[in-house]
């Protein structure tokens, strides 16, 4: 019987987080260069705009290979997730007892119990679908919401990566959402990233602050 490999999902996400870290670094360096131009009071507005556009174009060229890497790893991640989704692995020794418990439960189980059962099979779509099939009432509804939808979730991630690339550097505000998507994928497979792997550099918090200000309608 084929085994589900969630570790490779984690590895791909770690690689993509590394690429995002470099995107953040390039963005912050570009912002520093732009600030130098803006701060020179001897330059005319027209000259500043011309120089800033040159800096923006240089940043887009510098970051291009990182976006190529993100696209490539995202495509490979999709294939891995799809492959895992189609593996029928019911070898966990607790699977049968969980099926029996849900089959016999006519009343809603405590959410802690539901989460505990689902947590045993994160990343195992077919096992979770089997549990949904035998669950009843609100138990079925709760379990259904816990199943990671590879197609819709990965489509959203791809769209965000495209938006980030097309609008870079001005579109940097979507980067925190990309990070959140990647962390969600790892968690859905029952894996975790270390704090170091989730860290995107000193400039990341500034981007988050800008995103929050934009959401509140404030100027950055």
| pLDDT (tens digit per residue) in 158-205 | 999 999 999 999 999 999 999 999 999 999 999 999 999 999 998 999
Confidence class for position 2, pLDDT limits 50, 70, 90: low
Smallest CA-to-CA distance from 185 within 113, 92, 83, 78 is with 78
Judge if 12 and 82 occupy the same domain.
yes
| Domain residue limits at 18 | 7-86+150-215
| Biggest distance spanned by C-alpha atoms of the chain | 79
Examine residue 125 and state whether it is found in any structural domain, yes or no: yes
Confidence class for position 213, pLDDT limits 50, 70, 90: confident
Sign of the CA dihedral 71, 74, 80, 86? negative
Examine residue 127 and state whether it is found in any structural domain, yes or no: yes
Examine residue 1 and state whether it is found in any structural domain, yes or no: no
Residue 193: the pLDDT is: 97
Examine residue 220 and state whether it is found in any structural domain, yes or no: no
Q: pLDDT tens digits, residue range 112-138?
A: 999 999 999 999 999 999 999 999 988
Number of independent structural domains in the chain: 2
| C-alpha–C-alpha distance, residues 202 and 154, integer Å | 28
* Contact indicator for 16, 182 with CB cutoff of 8 Å: yes
């Amino acid at each position: 019987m084929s085994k589900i490999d969630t570790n490779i999902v984690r590895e791909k996400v770690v690689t993509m987080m590394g690429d995002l870290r470099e995107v953040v670094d390039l963005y912050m360096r570009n912002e520093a260069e732009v600030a130098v131009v803006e701060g020179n009071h001897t330059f005319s507005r027209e000259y500043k705009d011309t120089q800033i556009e040159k800096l923006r174009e240089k940043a887009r060229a510098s970051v291009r290979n990182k976006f190529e890497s993100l696209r490539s790893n995202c495509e490979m991640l999709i294939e891995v997730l799809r492959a895992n989704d189609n593996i029928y692995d019911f070898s966990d020794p607790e699977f049968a007892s969980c099926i029996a418990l849900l089959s016999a439960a006519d009343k809603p189980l405590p959410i802690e119990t539901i989460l505990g059962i689902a947590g045993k099979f994160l990343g195992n779509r077919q096992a979770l679908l089997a549990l949904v099939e035998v669950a009843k009432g609100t138990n079925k509804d709760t379990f259904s919401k816990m199943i990671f939808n590879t197609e819709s979730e990965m489509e959203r991630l791809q769209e965000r990566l495209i938006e980030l690339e097309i609008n870079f550097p001005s579109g940097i505000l979507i980067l925190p959402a990309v990070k959140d998507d990647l962390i969600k994928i790892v968690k859905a497979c029952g894996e975790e990233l270390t704090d170091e792997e989730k860290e995107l550099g000193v400039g990341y918090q500034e981007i988050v602050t800008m995103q929050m200000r934009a959401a509140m309608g404030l100027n950055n």
